[in-house]
Amino acid sequence: TVGCVAVDSAGNLASATSTGGYVNKMAGRIGDSPIIGAGTYANHLCAVSATGQGEDIIRGTVARDVAALMEYKGLSLTEAAAYVIDQSVPKGSCGFIAVSANGEVTMPFNTNGMFRACATEDGYTEIGIWPKN
Amino acid sequence: MVGWAIALHGGGGDIQLDYPDELRIPREIALRHCLDVGVSAFKSGKPPLDVVELVVRELENQPVFNAGKGSVLTAECTIEMEASIMDGKTKRCGAVSGLNTVVNPISLARLVMEKTPHVYLAFNAAEAFARAHGVETVETSHLITPENIQRLKQAKEFNRVQLDYTSPGPKAQGYHGESQTG
């Protein structure tokens, strides 16, 4: 699975996710990547793209949950993402990338690793696989 | 408002710390290349929707990642690609599933968003929609890599579905005792 989220300096957001699914899956099985609100979501507050165990990401409506926590509980992107990765999906099943309208970037995951990268206009860039610490 | 920001991923999962360099390094190089594509797109003034489509197209074209070329195989040794895209400002979105000849599924998802009243098209109808709109397609065999044929064999050998980055071997402990991760 691959994905990208982006926000411009006016706060416009977009998200995109694409995948081949997973090895040895049943033919006809749909995962989270094409399901809006599960593996992909964007609104006026944030943009999210997820990867991992698709059935859990669908059950947890991961991408929409991040946006809803920001919208209805007033959490920041980082707080909403941390809550979702800890509470909405089983450990070892999910990771996602997200940006917010005010330029926050977060890339949490509860698996061993996630291939990820990010950059901001002020020159910060990061490329990683495992947790930073 | 601060400046633009972009993030991308190439999948996650059971990536052990001893992940071999010959697998890790090409993936890190590909991440850096795709990040550069996104940064250049922003610097040339492209809107976020174009940026995410461009970057995911680049990621789909990297055979090291499970999307587009390099997609993994189903239990029937076929390819079924899927993708979706969403514009935050308008909440317009497009999605496709069950593709097996389209080179860049993410661009087909965007066409569904922009050229139909629907959100989601799947399988044969999605493939027909691709042809009707002149989207680049190839023989499915061009999307299959020897590594993924090998991985399907391993997964069948252990009678499991396989995590993107699982090393082959007995069933993974923990979640369902099987790793089912895309």
Residues 57-86 of A with CB under 8 A from B: none
User: For residue B99, which of B137, B144, B55 has the smallest C-alpha distance?
Assistant: B137
Measure the CA–CA gap between B109 and B111, rounded to whole angstroms: 5
Q: What is the mean pLDDT of residues A80-90?
A: 98
In this complex, which of B2, B119, B152 lies closest to A24 when CB atoms are compared? B152
**pLDDT of A38-63, one tens digit each?**
999 999 999 999 999 999 999 999 99
- Residue B172 is predicted with a pLDDT of 43
Strand order in the sheet with A105-106: A40-42, A46-52, A94-100, A105-106
C-alpha dist (Å) from residue A31 to B41, B82, B92, B97, B181: 29, 8, 20, 9, 9
State whether B3 and A97 contact (CB < 8 Å): no
Contact across the interface for A121 and B165, Cβ inside 8 Å: no
Would you state the pLDDT for residue B37?
98
pLDDT reported for residue B2: 79
What pLDDT is attached to residue B177? Answer: 30
Task: Give the whole-angstrom CA distance, residue A87 versus residue A66.
Answer: 11
Rounded Cα distance between B140 and A72, Å, is: 45
Pick B56's closest partner by Cβ from A16, A43, A98: A16
Q: Are B122 and A72 in contact (CB under 8 A)?
A: no
Note whether A98 contacts B: Cβ–Cβ < 8 A.
yes
**pLDDT at position B178:** 31
Q: Which residue of B has its CA nearest to A14?
A: B87
Which H or E run includes A99? Answer: strand A94-100
Let me know: does A115 contact B11? Beta carbons within 8 Å.
yes
* Alpha carbon distances (Å) from B142 to A109, B123, B152: 32, 18, 17
Mean pLDDT, each 10-residue run in order, chain B (182 residues): 92 94 97 98 98 98 97 97 98 98 98 98 98 97 94 86 57 37 50
pLDDT, average across residues A109-113:
97
Buried b (16+ CB within 10 A) or exposed e, A30-39: bbbbbbbbbb
* Each residue's pLDDT tens digit, A5-14: 999 999 999 9
Tell me, yes or no, if A38 comes closer than 8 A to chain B by beta carbon: no
pLDDT-based confidence at A132, cuts 50/70/90? confident
Is A1 in the active site? yes
